[in-house]
Structure formats: C-alpha cells, structure tokens
Amino acid sequence: MVERRSPSRLAGSEGISDTPRPEVRFIRVPSIAERKLGTDYVAPMRLDPRVLEQMQSTIRDLEAKYADALKSQVAMLQVLVEPARKGDADARERLYALSHDMRGLAGTFGHAIVGQFADSLCRYIEKAKDGDWGDGTVVSFHVDAIRDALENPGTDPAITMETLNALDRLIGASGKKHNAGGAGRSTG
C-alpha cells in the first residue's frame, strides 16, 4: 500500500544531491465501493438517474415544511435587527446564526434570492472588523431585502441583481466611511 518513491531522473543533480529532502509517502487508497461490494463491484460507479430523482423528490417533500420555518426565521430577523443594531451581543449572534442557516438552506428549497441576500449579509457580518456594524443601516437593508424576497418570490431577476449591487455599494461605502474615521478598519 505504501509507496516510497526513488529520486526523479528528471530532477537533475537536485534528485541526487546530499541535501536531506522531506520524506514524501504515497499511499494507495482502495475504493470503498470495491472493498464493500467485493465481487459484485462493477467499475466505474455512475450516477443513477432513478436514485437522483428519489433524492430530488425528498427535497420537494421537505419544501413546504421549510417554507414555514423560513417565514418564522425571517420574522425573527426583523425582531432581532433593532437590538442587534444597538449592539446587543446575543441578538447579533442569533441574527448571524439565522442568516447563516438561510444562506445554506434557502437555495436548496427554491428560495435562491433569499439565500443570496442572506449570503451577502453573512459576508458583511463576517468581515465587519471588531463587530463594527456602523449605524446598522447595512444590516437592516439586508433584512428588508430578505423579507421582500420571501414575500415576492416572482420578482424580476434584474431587480434582484440591482438590489444585490446596491447592497454591495452600500457595504463598500460603509467600509470607506469607517476607514476614513478609524485607522485600517473596514467593514467591506
């Protein structure tokens, strides 16, 4: 299994120099499919369209349940935004956790736009140095955008894109303002 390879002939004098070289070990990893199936194994393993359909159907079954959960999460975001703007650490933590959940899940369940706004919000919070949210405008605008996207799922993609760009510009402007006010700080 373990292979210790000899110096390369193409490496020139480097390959045979006396300088100690870091040891490199290559280990051949057996295929799990082969190990588990033994003689029943047929290579290569391919994606089975029937199984894929079964998985996609599972996601569709979960969609309605998730839609209810998403509504509650967005309502909670709106409750949290004000205390979070004022610096309440617990509210900020919960607001980030909810946005993080939406970033990961909304797109899977057909709410791609909600996921994109949540992603933008998460990236802003993650980059905000020392938890500096400025006056909180960036966060509240994001929360408003998330709520609108949930309530109006059929919005023209061009408008969505323009909103995302506007949020980006807002984040950029917010970063510049803080950079001007404090050495090396950036929220962008």
Partner 1 sequence: MSAALFGKLTILVVDDSAYMRHLLMTLLQALGVKEVLLAIDGDEAWDLLQSKEPDIIITDAAMMPVDGFSFASRLRSIRGRALGMVPIIMVSGHTDIASVERARDIGISEFLSKPISARGLYERLIQVLDRPRQFVETPTYRGPDRRRRDRPFEGEDRRGAVALI
Query: Which positions lie near partner 1, rule CB under 8 A?
Result: 4-11, 14-15, 19, 21-34, 36-37, 40-48, 51-52, 54-59, 62, 66, 69, 100-101, 103-108, 112, 115, 119, 122
- Which of 73/187 has CB closer to partner 1? 73
- Which of 84/105 has CB closer to partner 1? 105
Residue 114 in contact with residue 70, Cβ under 8 Å? yes
Residues 6+ apart with CB under 8 A from 100: 118, 122
Least gap, CB of 23 to partner 1 (angstroms): 7
Structure tokens at 10: 């193409």
- Which of 41/151 has CB closer to partner 1? 41
Least gap, CB of 18 to partner 1 (angstroms): 11
- Which of 101/168 has CB closer to partner 1? 101
Residues 6+ apart with CB under 8 A from 41: 31, 33, 34
Q: How many other CB atoms are there within 10 angstroms of residue 101's CB atom?
A: 15
Least gap, CB of 141 to partner 1 (angstroms): 20
* Closest among 151, 6, 8, 185 to 75, alpha carbons compared: 151
